[in-house]
Amino acid sequence: MHNEKDNILIAQRFDELIKISQKRCPEIEEQRGILKAFEFAKEAHKDVKRHSGEPYILHPIEVAIIVVKEIGLGYKSIVTALLHDVVEDTDYSIDDIKRLFGTKIASLVEGLTKVSIAFDASVSEQAENFKRILLTMGDDIRVILIKLADRLHNVRTIQFLPAQKRDKILSETMFIFMPLANRLGLYSIKTEMENVWFSSSYPNEYEEVQEKLSIITAQRGDTIDQFVASISLILSNLGYNYTISKRIKSPYSVWRKMNSKGIPFEQIYDIFALRIVFEPTPEIEERSQCFRIYADITKNYLSKSDRIRDWTNKAKSNGYEALHCTIMGPNGNWIEVQIRTKRMDDIAEHGLAAHWLYKDISLQDSEMEVWLEKVKEVLESPDSNALDFLDRFHTGLLLPDIPVITPKGEMRHIPKGSTVLDFAYSLHSAIGNRAIAAKVNHKLVSLRYQPHMGDRIEILTADTQHPQKEWLTFVQTPKARTAIVEFFKAEVSNSLLKGEQILELKLKELGVPLHDRVINKLLDAFHINSKEGLFSHIGAGFLDLSELQKILKQNKAERKISYWGIIFPKTNSSQSDSITRHSYSLEEDPIAKTLSYSVANCCRPIPGDEVMGFRLSDGEVLVHKKSCPAGMEEATRIGEKIINAEWKQHSYHSFLARVALRGIDRMGILKDITEYLSLKLSINIRKVIIETHDGIFEGHIDLYVHDTEHLDQLIKNINKINGVEFVSRIDVKKD
């Protein structure tokens, strides 16, 4: 039973829901329906507590609040949010929901139940269920929108979960839900998820960035206020009703920019932004009014013309409209200014849900409808197996689009990172199949070329051309891949058996039996998800096995240098649930000089890094950085195999790390750096790449360290060398 304190808290949160839902649900019958759903859910979840110790009913209430307050949905979605866990967690059925609340709400609840089951299932079942629930997006996108609200509240309370469960949820959130929120235009939800992921995965770095943001806000706050006052006067003189809000770059965005560009906090100049939201004058084009405001602001302030972003003429694929410009503020710092009408702001804040706010927005004619069609296209593709789908969904459907131009002047959108061959297939499969090259801005390029925003693309074709197997190594979009595979379908129908025979013969020549450990190494080396996929690719001739021996030897050699040991008690399956609650110690054996688990080659974590451990099918344990995209993808697929791994102190093994350097070039600077590392610090250097230009040097050094503490001290020491201006750790990547 709930105690008095619980009942007071439940009543307060439900009162908040009723208060904020009145605008979207003004009818008395709708308010009664919300109350009925609340009372039903409260009774269904009675005496159930969450990991935080709070009554479970608070979770559906909070989800419903997010649904109406942050997404902007209405009555049916609010009721569905209140009921979304009833069928999954209690004895009530979908038929009960249909009888009490109607067919539509029952359908939404059923869709959400399928989503929850999908993310709790085993690897192949999870991926297959994920495909199925996404098929419902075309029927009612609200299923996914409510699920995003559900996930947002779960990450808000993630600190109460066990470590391995926390890692699984955070990885799913980063790999699927954050890009999905971005694709649907739900920027505030995406930003909050990013910051929760950052603070949970890298708490020390989060606190450091947060502290620096607080300091710079205090230092520049008055100057920004002066800038706001000046712009307010301009808008008032134009006769607009408006609001101006200040935005500070999120901690995650700052951290990501620091890491991706290899720069310190002090070199990030777009910390602040202003957002102008105004009520436009009727019967005057909104775009013209946005530019009028921009023109009046730039009469008094300098504008950075190459940083103007106009989405008022052509909205982003998720419906976002605004005019972005960069203005020099009173203190000489550049400040981004976003100019929106009230309608544009509602769409920006509520994303796809604005379809329900503005009835004149045609979902069928929007870019989002085009994207939903792409989702269906991938889901219904005959060659799209469950595990491959997660890759394709993430790379082909969640990445942002860029606009490109056809020779006739038509604007098309393709996913960022696509090739001109992907563009050819987006026009028509027949054009893609016969493509031989392309002209981008009248310059001849190969089919591998990745166009940029605004490029004019002309596809060159030949009647004698047909798809090549190597095309599958560089195309990015599901449509292109499907068309190419379809072309070779007859040829590869028996490739699985053929591929297994070829691999077995190759391994026999090397004296190596075909067993799971060898297959797992090859899956990792060729970035393939399954044994069947490996055999099929080999049989179809898509993989080159000429370096098979080198791959196997390389893996064995790396175990001596880069692998760590892990204390891993043997257990039967019935004990596994209790064991995974404990932490596992990542240890070395300095006497035997051996390590019994592998460090992932994609991110190469070193002791002290925040990591996730995975117990593989052969018993081996693989460790990824928590920020590693491949690791997050694995956690999404095989979340049940995550273990809570913790580093232990060691003294024998060294690990490869890379530091980026930049500074003022002078005679002997490279000699000073390498001698300081080798002779004074006794650091083993593997590689040095330094370039100089215009009196500046920059590059990176690959070296071996014991742990992150050792690396941090090394970076501090390098910073003391005369001429060195900046040193930072970056990811080790293949050159």
Angstrom distance (rounded) from CA 319 to CA 355: 10
CA 528/CA 545 separation, integer angstroms:
14
What distances in angstroms separate CA 132 from CA 117, 136, 477, one per listed residue? 11, 7, 20
Alpha carbon separation from 414 to 330, 403, 581 (Å, rounded): 39, 7, 44
Is the Cβ–Cβ distance between 629 and 175 less than 8 Å? yes
Residue 698, classed as helix, strand or coil, is: strand
| Nearest Cα residue to 205 out of 701, 626, 689, 635 | 626
- Active site annotation includes 89: yes
SS3 track for 116-127: HHHCCCCHHHHH
C-alpha closest to that of 57 among 83, 20, 21: 83
CA–CA dist 389, 127 (Å, integer)? 7
**Does residue 41 contact residue 82 with C-beta atoms inside 8 Å?**
yes
Nearest Cα residue to 16 out of 84, 66, 55, 83: 66
Distance CA 368, CA 320 (A): 11
> Which residue among 54, 89, 140, 698 is the active-site one?
89
Report the alpha-carbon distance of residue 380 to residue 370 in Å, rounded.
15
The residue type of 159 is Q
Reported as type and span, the H/E element at residue 18 is: helix 4-21
What lies within 8 Å, CB to CB, of 321 at 6+ separation is: 311, 312, 315, 340, 344, 347, 348
User: In angstroms, rounded to a whole number, what is the distance separating the alpha carbons of residues 604 and 233?
Assistant: 54
**Half-sphere exposure in the Cβ direction for 171 (13 Å, CA):** 29
Quickly tell me which residue has 């100089």 as its tokens: 692
The C-alpha atoms of residue 256 and residue 674 are separated, in whole angstroms, by 29
Measured torsion, CA atoms of residues 575, 579, 581, 583, in degrees rounded to the nearest 10 = -170
Element counts in the chain: helices (H) and strands (E): 31, 20
657 to each of 359, 411, 558, 607, 705, how far by Cα in Å? 55, 44, 14, 11, 7
Structure tokens at 619: 């018993």
Q: What's the DSSP call for residue 49?
A: B
Burial of 681 (0-12, 13-18, 19+ CB in 10 A): middle
d(CA 14, CA 40): 13
Residue type, 93: S
Please name the amino acid found at residue 708: T
Supply 643's token pair: 């273990």
Please give the DSSP secondary-structure letter assigned to residue 91. Answer: S
Which among 6, 16, 54, 88 is annotated as catalytic? 88
70 catalytic? Reply is no
Sheet holding 724-730, edge to edge: 685-693, 696-705, 655-664, 724-730
Cα separation, 230 vs 330, in Å, equals 10
First to last CA, the chain: 62
- Is there a contact between 699 and 729 (Cβ–Cβ < 8 Å)? no
Write the single-letter amino acid at 263. I
The partner residues of 412 in beta bridges, in order of sequence, read: 404
Length of the chain: 735
Helix (H) or strand (E) segment spanning residue 725: strand 724-730
Give the type of residue at 354. Answer: A
Rounded distance between C-alpha atoms, residue 566 and residue 549, angstroms: 28
Give me the active site residues, please.
88-89
